[in-house]
Amino acid sequence: MKERIYRLLNQTVQDADRFAAEPLTDEEVTTIMAKFKKETSTGNANKKRKLKRRTLAVIIAAAMVVCCGTVAVAADHLGVFDKLVHKKDMTFSLPDVEEELPIDKFAVQYDYEKIADAAKPETDTITAEAEGFTLQVDSVYCDGMTLMIGISGSMKDGNPTHKQLIDLDMLTIRINDTLYGCLPNPEGFASLDGSLVLDEGTENQFSGDITLLLLQDAEITEPTTINVSAGRITAQEHYMDSNYVELGNLKFSVDVSPETSLREQEAYTITEDGDSIRFYEISPAMMIVGFHSSDPNVSSWLNDENGQPIEQVGMTALPDYGDGYSIGCMVPVDTGYVTATFFHKNNTDENGTILPTKEIKINMDEVNAALKGNAEGD
């Protein structure tokens, strides 16, 4: 029964205006909360996660309203970043390639659930028209170094060829007198890209983001208006699809107010026998980590709880803190454990594979608490 209700809630078209919404009583809210807390506090310890207030709001808002025996959904509108959580699961295959590839090559660079929690909904209606595409601004995330504009849109021809990816090419963003994305890029520029993917269960509704990454010396520190231009828009099956559809170009402007408090900033260092890992800052968009060894032949990387390398955030330039550490910008981890694995280039097996020489297990709950404590103490 629970699985059937879950499917109904997820497959129902959002047309809640046809039904008379009945607010939950205090007793009903208490019952739902108690049951949810019970279910999320049991089971494997590795599966326990803090329940975010936004998630609770969506669950409560999605409570059933029974009208003449029909189950209706009174759910809040899901924002763009909420919808993008599934993007990493959208894949395609190529001949002679065993591994499934992501439809959008930037799919695994961000934890969109964290971004969704921190993004601000756009209260003004901001729409831009291209020849074959209509775009609307949904929300904005800005921590000073990372600017992410949540966008949605649809193809004007209704998407008859079932494209799943909209690529925004020849992107530029102007902030005050500085233009990013146009060669040669100014100092402080790290990355700029934009795309949208097809929403689950739809034929022509797309969600995506335009993301600008800046280095610390170029960060956005004050509220400002930014001007965005996409010189070429194409619709594709996936990012390697050469049979694309041209959709034109567009421009729009949006106001941005940075929240630098989203970045927990203060170096926290773990050292063991001359090898060090330094966490410079952690935000919903990324964590900036440095590695250092007394031996110049040693390199290192971070793996997650499953032993897989933590995904990098693609940047054409990396922050430089002037302390001799090698810097990596990665998808943030806010709980559980990660492992720093160190390698010596001369430590190889008979096949020439470089073997690890040391592993340091790191409690990310402690790291985040330390960074937060240091930031609050500044």
> In the numeric block, which tokens belong to residue 172?
């530029």
Which of 75, 65, 66 is closest to 14 using CA atoms? 75
The closest of 260, 279, 261 to 270, measured between CA atoms, is 279
Identical topology for domains 83-261 and 263-377: yes
Q: What is the per-residue pLDDT for 63? A: 46
Model pTM above 0.85: no
DSSP per-residue string spanning 341-361: EEEEEEEE-TT-PEEEEEEEE
**What tens digit of pLDDT does each residue of 337-366 get?**
999 999 888 888 888 888 888 899 999 999
For position 50, what pLDDT does the model report? 42
Q: Find, among 73, 65, 56, 76, the residue nearest to 24 by Cα.
A: 65
Compute CA distances 59 → 33, 63, 64, 341, whole Å: 10, 7, 10, 39
Measured CA to CA, the distance from residue 141 to residue 43 in angstroms comes to 34
| Residue ranges, the chain, pLDDT below 50 | 1-21, 34-76, 375-378
Token pair, residue 289, equals 């980590």
Select from 138, 82, 86 the least CA-distant residue to 113: 82
In whole angstroms, what is the distance from residue 138 CA to residue 121 CA? 6
pLDDT of the residue at 25: 56
Sign of the alpha-carbon torsion through 272, 275, 277, 280? positive
* Domain boundaries, given as residue ranges, for the chain: 2-76, 83-261, 263-377
The mean pLDDT value of the chain amounts to: 81
pLDDT of residue 167: 96
Model confidence pLDDT, tens digit, residues 159-190: 999 999 999 999 999 999 999 998 888 999 99
Rounded to 5°, angle at Cα 287 from 283 and 292: 150
* Lookup: tokens for 296: 């110049």
β-pair partners for 180? 173
The DSSP line for 168-214 is: EEEEEEEETTEEESSSSPPTTEEEEEEEEEEPTT-SS-EEEEEEEEE
State how far the alpha carbon of 178 is from the alpha carbons of 185, 228, 251, in Å. 9, 12, 17
Separation CA 318–CA 332 (nearest Å)? 16
Domain 263-377 maps to which CATH number in 2.60.40, 2.60.120, 1.25.40, 3.30.60? 2.60.40
CATH topology of domain 83-261: Immunoglobulin-like (2.60.40)
pLDDT at 274: 86
Query: Alpha-carbon distance 72 to 7, whole Å?
Result: 12
DSSP 98: -
Please, what's the largest Cα pairwise distance for the chain? 73
DSSP 235: E
Strands 70-73 and 64-67 come out as antiparallel
Around 40, how many Cα atoms within 13 Å sit in the side-chain half-sphere? 13
Angle at which helix 53-61 crosses helix 26-40, to 10 degrees, equals 130
